[in-house]
């Protein structure tokens, strides 16, 4: 099948999709809100089925590519081998339109028993009572979070209730091309560099290359990069349902990267625009336009596949303690499932079982369970995998406290930041103008 197509399929079919990327959000997802407010979704039909004695078939839905499908289906088959009376009806598709389809099925009362979700919609789906409340399952250790880092274990909480469990962990990372840097005679970026030092370093790389390659990509539009920059200064992206920063803060952030473009530390806005999509294949290391790219640690393997050069990873500029153990995505159950106990048991298996961990590998990020992660680390890994795992291990000793789960409207905030950053990048607005517009629109979105 041609690269980039995103049809939906049942077990055994082929599809493609962006590994680890959040799916495209479409307006149909909002119809869930209206139906929930009008009572359009059925409540949970309590059933305390036993996976060893009751014959059930659970529906499972996720976004991803063929490799993710193969690994996930193999893991689910392993669960069925242990619990022969439990079968699975799987549906998966590429990233585009994932939430559109999930919303459509939820409004019809036919949402999958178990599904993949991410931070952009976790809070909204929980507050609208689409997700299964796992709090009691966690208390009874039917879903055991004891093997997860504390911050990651709490990542699936909304309003003090566990509504999802991390399917993988990753840490923001600055990837760099060691081969190019060695050829230019430039030292590798070091952890703890200030942003001013990093921009000066990147400008030197551009100069040494004769302008053939930029020293850095421009992360002005990347919400996570901004969040870490804010945390390094003692602020948060969100405070409850409001922004945790103001116009002066965002103006300073945009100005860092406007000056970097002026100093040729980063490439032009036109070149940067492709990388703003977040797709690994369009990262500027992959396209040969820059020596560094701001990624997640689990994306290093995919990024490495696009170049024969040797890549390395280091922490973002700024204080590494601004980082925290981050969930790449989550497993969540449907509130209307007939089999809440079995759904919880399957989640527990996917997260905590060493054999499941070996099967799933790092497709959704590093295993959230640190013991399982150690088992997986001993198995053969793809090129770049060991460097990514070593980086994740180093960073785990530096993590700061995890922030609250992003509030409802998080996906919209990401879109608004992208628009504001690109307005500055293309000269359509000054840093202060774009920052003021963003803050006004973001506050309105969060209040809605």
State the Cα–Cα distance between residues 119 and 103, nearest whole angstrom.
Answer: 16
State the Cα–Cα distance between residues 65 and 336, nearest whole angstrom.
Answer: 27
Backbone angles phi, psi at 82, to 5 degrees: -85, -30
What is the rounded average pLDDT of the residues 138-143? 95
What is the rounded average pLDDT of the residues 133-148? 96
> Binning pLDDT at 50, 70 and 90, where does residue 52 land?
low
What is the rounded average pLDDT of the residues 12-36? 42
User: What is the per-residue pLDDT for 377?
Assistant: 78
User: What is the per-residue pLDDT for 5?
Assistant: 27
> Binning pLDDT at 50, 70 and 90, where does residue 166 land?
very high
DSSP letter string, 431-444: HHHHHHHHHHHHHH
User: What is the per-residue pLDDT for 221?
Assistant: 97
Residue with tokens 């990093």: 198
- The whole model's pTM is what? 0.86
Residue 93 CB coordination number (10 Å): 23
User: What is the per-residue pLDDT for 35?
Assistant: 39
Q: What is the pLDDT of residues 406-446, one digit of tens each?
A: 999 999 999 999 999 999 999 999 999 999 999 999 999 99
What is the rounded average pLDDT of the residues 190-215? 96
Does the pLDDT value for residue 299 go beyond 70? yes
> Binning pLDDT at 50, 70 and 90, where does residue 50 land?
low
Burial (Cβ within 10 Å: 0-12, 13-18, ≥19) of residue 43: exposed
The third-level CATH classification (topology) of the domain covering 172-322+403-447 is D-Maltodextrin-Binding Protein; domain 2 (3.40.190)
Does the pLDDT value for residue 26 go beyond 90? no
Closest CA to 267 of 250, 251, 289: 289
The CATH class given to the 8-167+329-377 domain equals alpha beta
Structural domain boundaries in the chain: 8-167+329-377, 172-322+403-447
Which stretches does DSSP call E strand in 79-184?
A: 86-93, 114-117, 157-158, 161-162, 165-166, 169-170, 172-177
The mean of the pLDDT values for the chain is 88
Closest CA to 89 of 65, 53, 113, 116: 113
Q: Do the domains 8-167+329-377 and 172-322+403-447 sit in the same CATH topology, yes or no?
A: yes
What is the rounded average pLDDT of the residues 115-141? 95
> In this predicted structure, which of 37-51, 108-122, 178-192, 376-390 has the lowest mean pLDDT?
37-51
> In this predicted structure, which of 13-22, 324-333, 362-371 has the lowest mean pLDDT?
13-22
Does the pLDDT value for residue 30 go beyond 50? no
User: What is the per-residue pLDDT for 96?
Assistant: 87
Higher pLDDT, residue 33 or 117: 117
State the Cα–Cα distance between residues 14 and 224, nearest whole angstrom.
Answer: 32
User: What is the per-residue pLDDT for 137?
Assistant: 96
What is the rounded average pLDDT of the residues 271-299? 92
Closest CA to 328 of 173, 174, 98, 167: 167
User: What is the per-residue pLDDT for 10?
Assistant: 42
State the Cα–Cα distance between residues 61 and 112, nearest whole angstrom.
Answer: 6
Pair 213, 291: CB distance under 8 Å = yes
Residue with tokens 């560099």: 193
């Amino acid at each position: 099948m041609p690269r980039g197509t995103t049809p939906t399929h049942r077990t055994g079919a082929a599809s493609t999709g962006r590994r680890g990327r959040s799916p495209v959000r479409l307006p149909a997802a909002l119809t869930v809100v209206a139906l929930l407010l009008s009572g359009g979704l059925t409540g949970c039909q309590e059933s305390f089925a036993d996976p060893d004695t009751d014959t059930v078939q659970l529906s499972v839905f996720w976004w991803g590519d063929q490799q993710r499908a193969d690994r996930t289906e193999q893991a689910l088959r392993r669960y069925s081998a242990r619990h022969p009376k439990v079968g699975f009806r799987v549906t998966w598709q590429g990233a585009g339109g994932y939430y559109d389809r999930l919303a459509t099925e939820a409004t019809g009362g036919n949402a999958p028993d178990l599904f993949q979700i991410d931070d952009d919609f976790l809070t909204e789906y929980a507050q609208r009572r689409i997700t299964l409340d796992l709090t009691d399952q966690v208390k009874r250790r039917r879903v055991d979070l004891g093997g997860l880092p504390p911050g990651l274990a709490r990542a699936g909480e909304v309003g003090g209730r566990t509504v999802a469990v991390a399917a993988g962990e990753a840490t923001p990372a600055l990837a760099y091309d060691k081969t190019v840097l060695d050829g230019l005679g430039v030292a590798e970026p070091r952890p703890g560099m200030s942003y001013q030092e990093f921009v000066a370093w990147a400008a030197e790389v551009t100069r040494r290359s004769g302008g053939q390659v930029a020293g850095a990509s421009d992360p002005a539009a990347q919400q996570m990069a901004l969040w870490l920059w804010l945390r390094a200064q003692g602020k948060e992206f969100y405070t409850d349902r409001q922004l945790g920063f103001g116009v002066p803060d965002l103006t300073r952030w945009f100005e860092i990267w406007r000056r970097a473009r002026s100093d040729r530390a980063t490439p032009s806005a036109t070149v940067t625009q492709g990388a703003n999509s977040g797709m690994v294949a369009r990262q500027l290391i992959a396209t040969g336009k820059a020596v560094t790219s701001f990624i997640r640690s689990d994306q290093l393997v995919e990024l490495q596949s696009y170049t024969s050069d040797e890549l390395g990873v280091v922490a973002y500029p700024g204080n590494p303690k601004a980082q925290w153990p981050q969930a790449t995505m989550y497993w969540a159950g449907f509130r209307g499932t007939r089999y809440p106990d079995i759904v919880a048991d399957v989640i527990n298996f996917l997260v905590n079982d060493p054999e499941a961990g070996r099967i799933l590998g790092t497709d959704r990020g590093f295993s959230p369970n640190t013991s399982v992660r150690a088992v997986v680390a001993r198995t053969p890994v793809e090129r770049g995998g060991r460097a990514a795992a070593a980086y994740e291990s180093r960073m785990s000793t530096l993590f700061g406290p995890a922030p609250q789960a992003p509030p409802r409207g998080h996906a919209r905030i990401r879109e608004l930041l992208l628009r504001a950053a690109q307005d500055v990048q293309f000269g359509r607005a000054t840093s202060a103008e774009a920052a003021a517009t963003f803050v006004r629109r973001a506050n309105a979105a969060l209040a809605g």
